[in-house]
Structure 1
Amino acid sequence: MKDQEYDYFYDDEQDAVYCYPGTNILKNKLNIRDIEVLHEAERDYSSVRQAELTNRGVTGDFSFKHLCSIHKHLFQDIYTWAGKTRTVDISKGTIFCLVQFIEEQFDDLYRKLKKENFLADITDKREMSVRLAFYLGELNMIHPFREGNGRTQRMYIEQLCQNNGRFEIDFTEATKEEMILASVQSANVSNDLLEALIYKCLVELVN
């Protein structure tokens, strides 16, 4: 999966826990105090780490621990809290899952995914698109981390495809605008746009 230069679902917000005082710039290991420079560093470092994960294949059992390990690997060079759930409530138009319910909501989602055998038995591209859109939309609403949710979610979805073995997904086939619109619709109306977007990004592998 190629890297993308944006994290779809998040606007920078100031908070006293994660940001440098009086700014919306997240405290970081590199002590970067310029928001654009920080975003560039995120992209550069996470791109390298993303490629490492892609080459490794499936790196866990799709549990919450697995999701956190993906986030930790992607952002270990930038944030001390990489791999740890956020401790503040955040929103962007829609309020994301409250802090105290993050793991509970994920566990509910995980049970559904497990009942579907982690999508490993799906052979139809349309069906795979529908189910991936459902889980991507739900993961986005949980939004477990202070930053980096989009990249982490996409890697989780990529690994579901790798686990299935019949598909791979390339999110660079979607534009930033398409993904934002699909995510907003998913949060408020339906998954129709997200399903169509994933269908466009999904590639059936030749046996």
Structure 2
Amino acid sequence: MSYSIDTLQSDCYEGTSCLINKFGIKDEVILKELETTITLNKITEYSLNPLFYSFDVQHYKSIHRYLFGDIYDWAGEYRTVDMSKKGTNFAKAESVEKLMSNCFKRLNDKNLFQGLKFDDFVDEFVDFYCVTNMIHPFREGNGRTQRLFLTQLIN
């Protein structure tokens, strides 16, 4: 998890960098193992039977809620703290909602990238990936949510 955050204000147990979770686990290693097991099962289930098809912001948030709702109360909700990881600063928390709205408006305006020439599709797809990654809308689980959404988008 190794994010740069202030644990006093970031949904972590006091004196730790372990996210508050529905299991009361305060050890990051144990939580990470449990989170990996749960989300891997959820990703497999979802891949076999996708639940959402609107390809809008709510769809994206619903995937996150589906993957992480058994672990975190805030699953599917935008983060409320600023974050960075390995020297990369993500979008300010107060900007996330507007940036995500703009990103998905563009996806909709581009007709979900359907009908584009291959090179144009690749450019748009990569741009969407990069933008959603830099926004990093959730406190945890951004990559898994992003991969599942994009896999569904291209299928």
- Taking structure 2 as the reference length, the TM-score comes to 0.89
CA distance in 2, matches of 1:88, 1:44: 26
The alignment covers a number of residue pairs equal to 152
CA distance in 2, matches of 1:37, 1:128: 40
Quick check: 1:53–1:59 contact (8 Å CA) kept in 2? no
CA distance in 1, matches of 2:51, 2:95: 27
Quick check: 2:35–2:71 contact (8 Å CA) kept in 1? yes
Name the structure 2 match of 1:145: 138
CA distance in 2, matches of 1:117, 1:69: 20
Aligned CA distance change for structure 1 residues 103 and 97 (closer, same or farther; 3 Å): same
Matched residue type, 1:12? Y
CA offset digits 1:33-75 (Å, max 9, x no partner): 2211111111100011111221223613222111110000000
CA offset digits 1:97-119 (Å, max 9, x no partner): 11111111111111211121101
What do you get for the CA RMSD once the two structures are aligned? 1.7
Name the structure 2 match of 1:102: 96
Quick check: 2:81–2:93 contact (8 Å CA) kept in 1? yes
Matched residue type, 2:95? F
Matched residue type, 1:110? F
Larger mean CA deviation between 141-150 and 48-57 belongs to: 48-57
- Which residue of the other structure, out of 37, 44, 47, is the alignment partner of 2:40? 47
Name the structure 1 match of 2:7: 15
Aligned CA distance change for structure 1 residues 53 and 88 (closer, same or farther; 3 Å): same
- Unaligned 5+ segments in structure 2 are none
- Unaligned 5+ segments in structure 1 are 1-9, 163-207
Name the structure 1 match of 2:69: 76
CA offset digits 1:125-154 (Å, max 9, x no partner): x54333221111100111111111110111
Quick check: 2:25–2:31 contact (8 Å CA) kept in 1? yes
- Taking structure 1 as the reference length, the TM-score comes to 0.68
Per the TM alignment, residue 122 of structure 1 is displaced from its structure 2 partner at its CA by 3.6
